[in-house]
Structure 1
Amino acid sequence: MDDMNESPDGGPGLRRACDQCRLRKIRCNKESPCSNCRTANRQCSSTGVGQKPKEPRQRVLISSQYERKIDHFESRLGGIESLLRDLTTSISHGHHSQGADRSMSYNSSSYGDIRDTPAMGGGADLSSTVFSGQDDDDPTPEFEGNSSLAAQTAMASQLVENAVTQSALGVTNPNMQSALLSLKQIVQMQTSQHTKEIRFPNARPMPRGGIRELPMPPMSLVIGLLREIKDTPPLTFTLIAAFITIEEFTENCRKVYFATEDYSLATFILVNAGLTYLFMEKAMAATDTRSAELLKYHYTCRDNLETALSNLPLLMPARMETIKALLLGASYAVEIAKLTLAWHLNTSAALMCQALGYHRLPVNFTDSPSPSSSSTPSTNNAPSTTTDAINDTKSGLFWFTYMLDKGLSLRFGRSSVIQDYDITLPKAISPQMNLSDPWKVVLNLWILQAELTGKVYEHLYSPSALSKPLETRVIAARQLAEDIKVLARESELLNKRVKEEEERTNQDKNHNPSFYTMDVVLKSDEVWYWSSLALVYRTIPANNDLGISSNGYSLNMECLDAARNAIVTHHESMKLTEGSRFTQAAYLHWTLIYAPFAPFIVLFCNVIETSDLEDLRRMSEFVDSLAPVCSISEAIDKLHRVCQVLYNVAQLYVEAKSQQLQDQDMTMVNNDFDMYLSQLGFISGVPHDSNGGGDSANGFGNNNNNNNNNLVGNWFSGNRTILGLVEADLSEFEPRGWASGAT
């Protein structure tokens, strides 16, 4: 019975209790034979009958997947720690919120009666802040336009679970498997809007003493900076803060640095926003040693700005200063690609502008603002001049708000806050505004761009537009395309005049920062023109004016040409700004993320449909152009990751499509790709017809009009989904591990 001393798997090991003792439930000494069996003169055997067999242990695989999960857990724990710190701080200031239960109406009649609460003491009476960072419960998903994709997502999530394992190729080709899994994640993120990080990343808890205890740059440094900008106005007050004069900014700095009385949170925001941009502008032109010091104070003011914006009260007084603070905050939010925050801030500014009547003609307005025709009866010229200056500021504030409102409206697929039929102001910056003539022309072009942007959404992509007959939308698209071309020609004329001025003054962009900035702005505008044309032409079906092509997703050549020209112009912009990564980041934030950059998705859809290798190359070059800026912009890094996924998906899709006739597994994988892409609105959800052509290929029968409208709406929603991922939590979305291995 020596074999009983071996373990069941054949090796030496501990002997089990014998079968007889186990059956009688008595103690066994586990000898061979055991004492009980010897006493009873029974045969002692230990076969393990009735016992659960020992299961082999599995090896623990420490792969990149587990490392990502561990990193994700660490990130979540860090977030919990931050929440606890914020909670502790908020509890310690709880006594400041006793007045929060007061009943206050939020309408135009009482809007201006809310008094501004100074923020020196560490909290406003209306302590419910706009951007508190996190909530205890998962927030309700935000609405981003009407889309038929949401109804399909539940079915898609059930189908995608088994998609990768349906074919042997998913096992033998890990890149194909990863591509399908990445598409699955994007589809799931489409309705998971609560994953957006609706917070300012560098905001700090408010000190007990309020904003007065936040660190500021040295007074001597700021005074020197103010003296410099008085002699040489910086570009900051030409573009971002054109509605704020240098004298006004200097006075606000005096209020903060020489605080003889309490100052408002809006004043603190104006000062830190201005200093944030000024220190960055000076750092870009300084030597390495000086630049490091200026960047240090830039980050100090940036943190102060984000902290102050995060502590804005829910209800604020409708005052000019408040509107300026909100506008600077919204512009800054676009700069850091926090577009949801920009929407909230700019919406508040728009409501205040309307409540104060900034969108209407002032009573003393004349149609001829030139000096020769402005001789209106007046007994006192000084008050008239002051009134004119105030009216110019009001109109400037309104038009900056209008521009952001229309751009964000199209970006999010929502109706704008400001409606064109409610405006009586002339669509132009006041000639008396303290700007050089070329910049006035640029701002006037931007106002017209914003107007066209609003019309693109209203007449082509809004639910109302998508319910109209196809003929109506095609006519509207043609008209909008012509209007965009008119603006593009005006921009070309301005660019020509600027070049002539450079030659006349014998200065180039390397010696005159204003010329360089103008070149960057005009080149960015050119990208906008081509991108907008691609978005407009996307709504016009291919092959004929009113019908649709074989599968409803074919792109007309005008759309493809506009998209390709946009990519070319984008590369020119990146080359123009290659001397400064910060300038490149600003260009990318305003031109690719703030404006819905459609050309990349247009090329992606064309590659999926036609396997165009040249467009595939263009996609690759576009992805590569984003890589150098990823290190300084989290949003660009996310956009780069998503575009890298789409490029590799297109590359692998072309591979699967070229082999599907010879390989049944490839046909199955191709169908898997089609399922995900249809959920994103990039291709038709109708299965491929292997015979090609005929009515079965388009799958629309006699309902071409309605189906084309649905396809365009779905495509627009899918494009917004891709761009919206720059604000999403992508901690579990990491395609770099497989992207380099795509073949």
Structure 2
Amino acid sequence: MDSRATACDLCRLRKARSEEKIDLLDKRLANIESLLLKQQQSAASTQCSCSGLTPEKAPLEVPLSVKDTPHVATDYDAGDEAPPVEGPSSLRFQMAATRRLTESAAIELGTSCYVNVVASAHRVVGSQSPAGSSQRHLAQKPVTYRNMPLPPIAAVVGVLRQLKDNPPSSFFVLRCFLPCSDFIDLCRNVYFSVDDYTAIDFIIVNSGLHSLFTEYFCPPSVGQSEPRKQSLAWGAMCRDALTAAVATIDASLSAKAKNVQALILGTTHAIEMAKPWLAWRLICFAAQLCMAAGFHDESLIVADDESTRNVKALLFWHVYGLEKSIALRVGRASMIRDSDIDIPKGLNLVCLPRLWDKVVPFWVENASIHSKIYDLLYSRSAQLVSQEDLSERADSLLADLKLIEPVNLVNSRISPANSTEPTTKLDNVLAISAKVMYYTTGTLICRARTSRASVPSFSPDCLAYARSTIDAHLECVPLMSGDLHIVNLYLHWRLLQTPFIPLLVVFCHIVETQDSSDTQRLKCFADSLEHGADLSPSAKDFYDITRQLYMIAEKHIQTSSEQDWASVPSLSTLGLTQFYPANAMAGNYHLAAEHGQSNQDMEMMFGGEQVMGFF
């Protein structure tokens, strides 16, 4: 009896253990199925043309047009339900005004062909907005930068050897005053990493490699089409990896020089990607770190050695110039107050490459005037002063601007007879492009003089500054000789960092007066942008807008010869504050709504990103 009971107990025990094993296997199979399902969903949502490729299997061809370039989605790509509201000094604000006035003029004129051209131009704008079908603005699931494909190690070593043997003079300045040797060491740490590397190192490395592959050491298009395509493909990989890494920037970054450098590089990348609001948030973060570390305070850096002091000063003034220019572009007050700064603005004692020692100080002084332009002419408080006071403020700012006129820069184009170094293409472009920046600032100031006049019009000096800006630009174009690095530098550091008002001033003057010389000027300006249109999304958008404005102006001149234009409202009413007069701000809610709608339609130029998590 006992033996039978023992045998039954053993059977039950074995059965129970078998059932437990079966249950465990079922759970494991369920987990495996769940993981496979998640992996399939992740692959479907993040798939792009470069996904799944190892560095050794990099694509041999890359589309040369920005619109066909694969986009890496990140957290800040998700579009807001309501776009950010930009201030009166922003270019988007003025483009919205240009649109409303042009449409009104076309409808008033009543000629179907002209109305169709205007409508077609605005469809081009609308089709590239985040609400449309533009792939690079669609919200997708974020991609981790550590999983991004990178160029093969052999290619990276090749461009680093070229950098070491022939370092470009601009690399030190544009890489935030990072010596080439230090940059090569950072690349070694990322590509041959034994220990883990940080997102900051990754940003600095891929920003630099993107420039090396696509600008500095990109093979010429003539006779080397395949190597050129391959180099551009590797540059695109670095750009996409950089985009993904910028999205991971942490709000708890310490106030160190390297972190400031990465934020500056992220800012310039955001400008190139047509994301000015992201650029503004990043540069504001960089400014906070600079102030927290005391880069602006002489007493806090006096104990450092000379080299460290120079780097901190250069980084601070770099942030200063970017922050004030971008703040003006998005219509916001600068967060850096000049009253808090006690390090000298004179950078002549800091060792910079030739001509950069003149360009950087001019850039800083010009940025200082940008801050005053917003505070004194375009801020909300400035809308409360009388037109007479506003004109006096503009006159005072013009006097300040004339004190920094870049005469020395232009004269430096001619090398002294005893100089052993002849001027280069970059030297010439830097010198003339300073004039472009100078005249753009003058146009912004002069526009405020008559923004609320009883009979709105552009003052003669406003139109003169606008024409001089475009003429200086056209003087620059042949000096570039198609050099990708110089074209990229000029477009993103001279034309796209600040609101380029001269374009709109000349356009509105053409529509009002049918001036043939200005029409030709606008055509030449649009044609000159075509060569650099494929360098970045922002360059492509700027070219498209300029081309559409020229088409509208040309069609208007053709139509106005057959119609009476006297009944059409003056298009010179376009202004930075025209649609938000101080005495009518509270009551004109319908105008604010129109402005918001126009913002959505003009997203192709200015991008509407969601505020990053840490802000």
Q: Into which bin does the TM-score normalised by the smaller protein fall?
A: 0.7 to 0.9
> Is the alpha carbon distance of 1:457 and 1:131 closer, same or farther for their aligned partners in structure 2, counting shifts above 3 Å?
farther
Measure how far apart 1:144 and its partner are.
0.3
- Residue identity (%): 29
Deviation at 1:138, TM superposition (A): 4.5
- Using the alignment, how far apart are the partners of 1:401 and 1:444 within structure 2? 13
| Equivalent residues of 2:509, 2:572 under 8 A apart | no
- Give yes or no for contact 1:337–1:594 (8 Å, CA) kept in 2: no
Change (3 A) 1:163 1:564: closer
Answer yes or no: is the 8 Å Cα contact 1:202–1:307 preserved in 2: no
Is 1:442 aligned to 2:380, yes or no?
Answer: no
Q: 1:537 aligns with which of 446, 458, 469?
A: 446
Give the TM-score normalised by the residue count of structure 1: 0.61
Matches of 2:370 and 2:86, distance apart in 1: 17
For the Cα contact (< 8 Å) 1:553–1:684, is it kept in 2?
A: no
What is the 5 A alignment of 1:588-737?
Answer: 588-654=491-557, 657-661=560-564, 671=568, 674=569, 725-728=604-607
- Shift in alpha-carbon separation, 1:194–1:410, aligned structure 2, 3 A: farther
With 327-336 and 528-537 compared, the bigger mean Cα shift is at 327-336
- Give secondary structure in 2 for the equivalent of 1:499: coil
Aligned counterpart, 2:86: 144
Equivalence for 1:323:
260
Once the two structures are TM-superposed, the CA of residue 82 in structure 1 deviates from its matched residue by: 9.6
| 1:554/1:230 CA distance change after superposition, 3 Å | same
Distance 1:653 1:683 in 2: 25
Whether contact under 8 Å (1:131, 1:312) holds in the other structure is: no
The residue type equivalent to 1:300 in the other structure is: M
CA distance in 2 between counterparts of 1:350 and 1:196 reads 35
Q: Which has the higher contact order (CA 8 A, sep 6+)?
A: 2
Check conservation: 1:234, 1:278, Cα contact below 8 A.
no
The separation in 2 between residues aligned to 1:164 and 1:477, in whole angstroms, is 33
Judge conservation of contact 2:88–2:378 (CA < 8 Å) in 1.
Answer: no
Give the distance between the partners of 2:133 and 2:449, measured in 1 at CA: 33
The aligned amino acid for 2:186 is N
Contact 1:203 1:303 in 2 (8 A): no
Amino acid at match of 2:389: T
Q: 1:410 to 1:724 in 2, by over 3 A?
A: farther
Alpha-carbon contact 2:328-2:499 (below 8 Å) kept: yes
Q: Is the 8 A contact 2:73 2:140 kept in 1?
A: no
User: How far apart, in 2, do the equivalents of 1:620 and 1:82 lie?
Assistant: 47
Structure 1: gaps spanning 5 or more residues: 1-80, 89-128, 366-383, 510-514, 686-702, 730-743
Could you say what secondary structure the match of 2:414 adopts? Answer: helix
Cα distance change, pair 472–285 in 1 and its aligned pair in 2 (3 A): farther
**1-side partners of 2:175 and 2:415: how far apart?**
27
Q: Equivalents in 1 of 2:229, 2:106: separation in Å?
A: 50
Q: How far 1:448 sits from its partner (Å)?
A: 0.8
Counterpart residue identity of residue 114, structure 2: M
Contact 1:204 1:307 in 2 (8 A): no
After superposing the two structures, state which structure 1 stretch, 400-409 or 228-237, moved more: 228-237
How far off is 1:364 after superposition?
A: 5.7
Please list the CA deviations of residues 283-302 of structure 1 after superposition, one character each: whole Å capped at 9, or x if unmatched. 24667265444334322322
User: Aligned pair 1:243/2:160, yes or no?
Assistant: no
**Alignment partners' CA distance in 2, 1:355 and 1:683:** 35
1:181 aligns with one of 112, 119, 143: 119
Distance 1:560 1:228 in 2: 46
Distance 1:618 1:160 in 2: 20
| Aligned partner of residue 174 in structure 2, secondary structure | coil
- Cα distance change of structure 1 residues 401 and 332 upon mapping to structure 2, 3 Å threshold: same
**Closer, same or farther in 2 for the Cα pair 1:654/1:261, shift >3 Å?**
same
Equivalents in 2 of 1:679, 1:86: separation in Å?
A: 46
- What amino acid does structure 1 have at the position aligned with 2:311? T
Q: Which of 45, 49, 52 is residue 85 of structure 1 equivalent to?
A: 45
Q: How does 1:308-387 map to 2 (within 5 A)?
A: 308-363=245-300, 365=302, 387=305
Distance (Å, rounded) in 2 between the aligned partners of 1:343 and 1:631? 24
Which residues in structure 2 correspond to 1:288-327 (within 5 Å)? 288=224, 291-327=228-264
- Unaligned runs of 5+ residues in structure 2 are 1-40, 49-71, 609-615
Do 2:213 and 2:232's aligned partners in 1 also have CA atoms closer than 8 Å? yes
Q: Indicate yes or no: 2:206 matched with 1:264.
A: no
The 8 Å contact of residues 89 and 331 in structure 2, kept in 1 or not, is answered as no
Q: Which residue of 1 aligns with 2:75?
A: 132
Pairing of 1:133-532 with structure 2 (within 5 A):
133-135=76-78, 138-145=80-87, 169-170=110-111, 173=112, 175-182=113-120, 206=143, 211=146, 213-223=147-157, 225-284=159-218, 288=224, 291-363=228-300, 365=302, 387-429=305-347, 431-433=349-351, 435-488=352-405, 491-501=406-416, 503-505=417-419, 508=422, 515-532=424-441
SS class of match (1:608): helix
**2:259 corresponds to which letter in structure 1?**
T
Q: 1:198 to 1:537 in 2, by over 3 A?
A: farther
AA paired with 1:607? I
Task: Report the secondary structure of 2:178's partner residue.
Answer: coil
Cα offsets for 1:680-700 (capped at 9, x unmatched): 659989xxxxxxxxxxxxxxx
The SS at the match of 1:427 is coil
What do residues 450-505 of structure 1 show as CA deviations (whole Å, max 9, x unaligned)?
Answer: 111111222122222222222322222122222222222xx32234235224x544
Q: Equivalent residue for 2:480?
A: 577
AA matched with 1:85 = S
Alpha-carbon distance between aligned partners in 2 of 1:345 and 1:572, rounded to the nearest angstrom:
33
Instruction: Mark the CA change 1:553 to 1:421 in structure 2 (over 3 Å): closer, same or farther.
Output: same
**Which has more radius of gyration?**
1
- CA distance in structure 2 between the partners assigned to 1:202 and 1:684 by the alignment: 34
**1:354 match: secondary structure:** helix
TM-score using structure 2 length? 0.73
Quote the Cα distance in structure 2 between the aligned partners of 1:312 and 1:198.
Answer: 24
Amino acid at match of 1:459: L
Q: Is the 8 A contact 1:202 1:306 kept in 2?
A: no
One-letter amino acid of the structure 1 residue matched with residue 208 of structure 2: G
RMSD across aligned C-alpha pairs, in angstroms? Answer: 4.6
Over 3 Å counting, the alpha-carbon distance change for 1:195 and 1:341 in structure 2 is: farther
C-alpha offsets along residues 290-318 of structure 1, whole Å, 9 cap, x if unaligned? Answer: 54443343223222212211333454343
Q: What do residues 11-30 of structure 1 show as CA deviations (whole Å, max 9, x unaligned)?
A: xxxxxxxxxxxxxxxxxxxx
Paired residues of 2:294 and 2:300 also in contact (CA < 8 A): no
One-letter amino acid matched to 1:520: V
